[in-house]
Structures are given as structure tokens and as C-alpha cells.
Structure 1
Amino acid sequence: METVNQRNGDTELSDILRSQKENFLIRGRLCTDQMRAYNDILHCRTSKMGSHTLTCDTCGDTRTSYNSCRNRHCPKCQYVKQLLWVEKLKCRLLPVRYFHVVFTVPEFLKPLFYLNQRECYSMLFASSALAVKKAASNPAFLGVESGCLSVLHTWGQALNYHPHIHMLVPAGGPDLDHMEWVAAKKMFFVPVKALSQIFRGIFMEKLFFALEANQLRVPEKQKCLYAAMGILKKEAYSKFWHVYIKKTFKGANQVVSYLGRYTHRVAISNSRIVSVNATTVKFRWKDYRDNKTKIMDLPCAEFIRRFMQHVLPNGFYKIRYYGIMSSANSKTKMEECFRLLRITRFISFYQGLSTYEILEEILGRDPFRCTCCNRGRMVYGLAKGKGKEP
């Protein structure tokens, strides 16, 4: 086993994975998706990922760089994706207030979730979105057609397994006849306890159906719990399903600013890792019980085990849109919303630009400007004075 002895500020997640690769890779302790993520993060921006050479089209200076892994769980490969996604989102958001709602599940369901991630995460997405839709459309509350943008997170600050949905909900919506825009008051349009009960009922209905259809694997230690629907129902309805409303965003600009640093997070960033030695990892975490930042000390193997819990199934979408915000309604119901709000829907400034042109606009500089002559542009495959732009 390789030894790691990094100074404060020099440590990356890949260093920790490298120190434990014999334990996790050779002994086969990971599933296929986890193995892929482990190898990608381990080899990101190293010779294992290959390299590319850029040449200045003016002075001929060359620069060789190792390729990124582009894995969505890699802490070094999310920044550009985050920038581009946020810019595309700007033109789809309604210029209204937004509520930030968080949906969680009781502790006893977490083993079932981990064993059936694709199925249970999908049920969590669908149940939380349907709960908001039902609550919003109820004339006793607001009586509108609503929508939401939902983001799945599976971790807590200490890297513990904590699947939950962060949801952004417009503070209002078109009435059911689509004749006017009905704005919600300062508070969320339905009491949180009522929303929690609606969410619990919808989720449990979907869960009972999936269990009866034998679509889920039951954890070995919980077979007695899932043996009879009556026992499971009693356990589920004896628990309080935590749904809570966080701060309200005053407009689309605040939402975009928030999403830019939130949606493309991975379980832990390199900046939170304090130090590593041959046996332990120290990292910063926020204890929300007293709202203080603390240092946690974990054995390397336990740290990696916790991190790998948050690798999502291959191809699973962690950001989804529902209701009036769904892609299917982008040119129909969303257009009606802009009309009812009497606001012209703008076209993104970046529409039609290439990825590199967008990056140049966002960063305020040309990322491929030659740093040697400060005049030329770094391009691929330069030969006989010609080359391709990167």
C-alpha cells in the first residue's frame, strides 16, 4: 500500500484513492459504477488519461496537457460544466421569487435506498414533485399549476449517506384556466406539515407498488420489516418525514447565483481536505447542530467507503425539471407564464456560440491566448502554419 503524507492545502482526493487502491480495486470491494469513478478520479489529468499538445499559431510555443476524466464525481471536472449549465439555465427561469424546499426520508429507509438506488432515487424525485404539484393545485392553498427544478444529493457534511432532494419552486403559477398569474404570499403556499404528509403518502404508495411487483431488493437485516405491508406502513407513518423550507430567493438572478455553486457539487471538494497520512484523513465539515465548522478525522479506508457511497448509477440524471418548468413545456406553458407576467422572454446571449467562445465571455479572457508571446492562440495539430482551434 502506498504511503501518503501531504501538507495542508496540497492534498487531493486522488491522493487518498491512490493510497488505498490495493484495498478497494484489487480486492473487488466496489460495484462497476464505483470502479469506473474510482479509476477516473485516480487518473484524472495524468498520463493514463492521455494528453494533448497545443501550439501557438504565432510564435510556435508548445504546451502539453494531460486530459481530464470528465467524470461527474470528480472534484476537478465540474467547474466548466457548472458555468455552461448555469448560463443555459438563465433563459428558462421565470423572473419571480423562488422557494427552496428540501425533502428527506426517514432513517429506516436508507438501507433500502442504497440497495436500490436507481429505483428509489427515481421514486424520491417523482414523489416530491407530485407532492408540490398536488399542494399547489389545491384551491384551498393556491390553486395554480406549479413546477420545480429538483437536484438530488446523497451526502451530509460528514459524508454520511443522506439521500435528499433540493427543490426550487416558483412562488406562484398560472391559475388552472391559464387566465392569470397567481403570486404566492411571503410564506410557502402550503403548511410544511401538510406538504410532508402529502409527500409521505405519495412515496409510500409508490413503494408498496414496487415491493408488490418485486421490483426492489430487500436488505437482509430488514426482511421482517418488509415481510408485511402492515408492519411497514406502521413504521412509515410513525415517523416524521422531514420537509423544510430554506431561504427564499427574490428573483432569477439570485437563483442562478445559488445554483452555480450548488448543483454540480460532489460529495467532497479538494479544498475541504486538510491533511492525509498513511492511515487517516482530516477534512473540514459543518456541524449544523451548532452551525460551526469542525475537523473530522477518519481512517483512509472509511473515508473512501463513505465517498464511494455517493457515486450515482451510470446515466442517472441528478437534475430534473417538472411541471411548467419541464422541457416538454418549455415552448408552451412557460411561454404562457411569461405572457401572464407581461415579461418578454429573452434569448441567451450565449446562444449560437461555441463552448470556447462562451468560456471567453464568462472568464473575461481568452483561455487559449499564448502566455509566451501574448498575441497568438494555442491550437491543435499545427502543421505548415495551419491548425485547428481547441
Structure 2
Amino acid sequence: MITLAQILRDHEASLQQFVGARLRPEHHAALQSILACHTPACGEVRYHCRACQQVQQAYPSCGHRSCPACQHGTNRQWLDRQRQKLLPVDYFLVTFTLPAQLRGFAWHHLRWTCHTLFQVAREVLAQFARNDTRLGSQLGLVGVLHTHSRRLAFHPHVHIVVPGGGLTGHHWHARAGRYLFNGRALATVFRAKFLTRMREQGFTLPESIPGHWVAQCEQVGRGDQALTYLARYLYRGVLREQNIVDYDGEQVTFRYQDSQTRRWQTLTEPASRFLWRVLQHVLPKGLRRVREYGFLHGGARKTLHRLQLRLQVALPGIVTQPRKQRVCPCCGEPMGITLWRRPCRWPVPTTRRRCLA
């Protein structure tokens, strides 16, 4: 399998030349982590078999959230936690998207833009819930930030998974049918609130901002399917290494699924351009990609548990995966750890330093 680290080792210099000053501290940290993953720079673990005296060594992963070779179980763990919050109601997926004319602004003010996307999306949905007499005033929301399109272009938007119902005090009001809110109305209010936040912050609005923005609200069944889709891009970066289908040393070909036709297509481009296409989606340090609100917030566990008891929810059990024991390739006996070396540190181009631990 072609790996991102392999391409990066071959073209790190050309990437630096192609991107130049657009590389931020978080990009440098991601580059160094991906290159160090499963190498001695991430430390060393030695194993010993008492039965046949076999000795093996292994190098840990870097643990960076944008490294495609790491965090194999993290997505599954997040999805298992979300499944423990499911309700026996229809779910809706609401998507708020910034127009193309604001993507340059979003790139230069990424942290502010991402925070504001979440805040405004939450306020808009809360306002619509309060104005709907058939729906409880408090919703449960799970928001996931995406900065990429299917072709991995810079395309900031936020997906919100919403159970079809709301709370008013301790009373649950379920939403019947396949309709939650009107997408055009959501987009209108979202546009007004976001531009107001920009003015209040002192930003100058571009003259070419369109009058109509895009917001979608669709029914997605019982919610598990939508959560499974969102879990794919929470960790391990925006591109699965299995989708890198060809690399000849200069050109890289990767595949993606077209959002309209649902068919798989390929895109071929120089390695430096491909690397930047992937790395531009690395988020600044400390910026959370997932946020929860309402009765799905981590601090509202008691409210959620009471609601699940009232709705007689049968929750799926959490399957705990036992820690894998390394087995001797010669005799098949378990091997013990005889040495664990901490990962080294390397300088990062910022005032702070980051450890791979």
C-alpha cells in the first residue's frame, strides 16, 4: 500500500518550495509527526520470549490526529460512545456551508471561523426550535467540523446530527415525519447571523458575498448511519491511504466518491500539490472538531439517561477490545516487554514544543 509518509519523504523539499509561507506551525508539527510515525523518533519497545529467547523491537505510532497511520481504534471508540446516546426516534442531518467567496477569509482566520461556525449553527437551530410549537425548546446536537470537499479542496462546513424531538422542561416532544426545518430558512438566518458576527469583530465584508447561502436539512433514519459517516473523518486525517491508488515517484493518483453521482473517480496531480491538498486541512492546535450541545452534551448525562428511560431505550453494549498481546513468531508464546524508550523531542517552528507522546 502506498503511504502518505512515503510520498512525504520523497517530496518534502518540493512541498516546502511549493507552499512557502503558507505552512503554519500546525502544518510543520503534522509533517514531523507523519514522518516520525513508527520510526525510532517515536520511541522503541523491545519484546522478549522466555520460552525460546526470541527478541523483537517495535516503534510506536505518533498519535497525531491527522496521521493516517494512527488512531485505528479512536474512531470506533467515539462511535461506540455516540451509540450509547441514541434515541428511538428519526434523526436529521443539518449542514451549514460557507460560500466560496468567504473561503479565503476562513483560511486566514481559521480558528475564529471554525468557532463561529459552531456557535452560529447552534444559535440558528435553537432559535428555530423555540419558534416551533410542535417541538421542544431544547434540542440535542452533535456537530462535526469538516474543512474539505470530496476532492479535498478547502471547503469549510459543519454537520449537525439532530434527534427528531426536543425537551421542554422534563417533557419530550417527538417530531413526526421526515421534516424538521426548512433549509432555505435556515440558510437565510445563518447568513445574517454569521455576517453580523464578522461586522462585530471588525472584519471587512467582501463585496461579492452572495445573497443566498446553502443549508441542508435531511432525514437520515435512526442516526447510526449519519454518525458512522461523520466518524470516518474525525481522526487519521481527511484521506484514507487505501484511496491512494498510484504513485510513480512524481505524480500521485487518488480516488474519491463524487457527491452527485456517488461514483468513484480519480484525480492525478504532482506530489507536492497532492501533499498540500491533504495537509491544508490540519487544524490549529486545541481546535476541537466535534462539539455537543443540549441534552447530548457531556454535562447533561442525567437528563439524557432520564430521557432514555422514559423512551425505553435498549442500548447496544460496548464491546471492549482486550489489549493485544504480542505473540512470539517462533513458538507462539506471549512475549514480555523488556525495554520501553520514551519518544524523542524535536524542535517545532513556534515558541512551544510538542512531544510525540
- What TM bracket, shorter-length normalisation? 0.7 to 0.9
1:177 corresponding residue in structure 2: 169
Runs of 5+ consecutive residues of structure 1 not aligned to the other structure: 1-9, 217-225, 351-357, 383-390
Q: Aligned to 1:368, which of 319, 326, 332? A: 326
1:93 corresponding residue in structure 2: 86
Matched, 1:105 2:132: no
1:223 corresponding residue in structure 2: none
Give 1:118 deviation, angstroms: 0.7
Q: String of CA shifts for 1:289-336, please: whole Å, max 9, x gaps.
A: 4332111111112112222210100111101101111122222x3234
Task: Give me the whole-angstrom Cα distance separating, in 2, the residues matched to 1:373 and 1:133.
Answer: 61
- Normalization by structure 2: what TM-score? 0.85
**2:337 match: secondary structure:** strand
Task: Give me the whole-angstrom Cα distance separating, in 1, the residues matched to 2:249 and 2:318.
Answer: 50
Task: Give me the whole-angstrom Cα distance separating, in 1, the residues matched to 2:313 and 2:146.
Answer: 33
Give 1:61 deviation, angstroms: 3.3
What is the RMSD of the two structures over their aligned residues, measured on CA atoms?
2.7
Matched, 1:244 2:216: yes
1:323 corresponding residue in structure 2: 294
* Equivalent residues of 1:82, 1:260 under 8 A apart: yes
2:338 corresponding residue in structure 1: 381
Task: Give me the whole-angstrom Cα distance separating, in 1, the residues matched to 2:93 and 2:103.
Answer: 23
1:147 to 1:204, Cα distance in 2 relative to 1, 3 A: farther
1:334 corresponding residue in structure 2: 304
Task: Give me the whole-angstrom Cα distance separating, in 2, the residues matched to 1:61 and 1:87.
Answer: 37
Task: Give me the whole-angstrom Cα distance separating, in 1, the residues matched to 2:230 and 2:335.
Answer: 32
Q: Aligned to 1:125, which of 86, 103, 118? A: 118
Q: String of CA shifts for 1:177-211, please: whole Å, max 9, x gaps.
A: 323x2111222321111111222222222222122
Q: String of CA shifts for 1:7-61, please: whole Å, max 9, x gaps.
A: xxx3111111112212345866521110010111122112332321123465543
1:221 corresponding residue in structure 2: none
1:281 corresponding residue in structure 2: 252
Aligned runs of 1:74-223 on 2, under 5 Å?
Answer: 74-140=67-133, 142-174=135-167, 176-179=168-171, 181-211=172-202
Amino acid at match of 1:156: S
Aligned runs of 1:261-280 on 2, under 5 Å?
Answer: 261-264=232-235, 266-280=237-251
Q: String of CA shifts for 1:120-151, please: whole Å, max 9, x gaps.
A: 10000111122112112223562431021111
Runs of 5+ consecutive residues of structure 2 not aligned to the other structure: 340-357
How many residue pairs align between the two structures? Answer: 338
Query: Quick one: percent identity of the two aligned structures?
Result: 28
Aligned runs of 1:64-83 on 2, under 5 Å?
Answer: 64-83=57-76
Amino acid at match of 1:193: R
Task: Give me the whole-angstrom Cα distance separating, in 2, the residues matched to 1:378 and 1:164.
Answer: 47
* Equivalent residues of 1:54, 1:379 under 8 A apart: yes
Q: String of CA shifts for 1:261-309, please: whole Å, max 9, x gaps.
A: 3533522111111112232111112233433211111111211222221
**1:282 match: secondary structure:** strand
Give 1:243 deviation, angstroms: 1.2
- Normalization by structure 1: what TM-score? 0.78
Task: Give me the whole-angstrom Cα distance separating, in 2, the residues matched to 1:119 and 1:134.
Answer: 22
1:133 to 1:62, Cα distance in 2 relative to 1, 3 A: farther
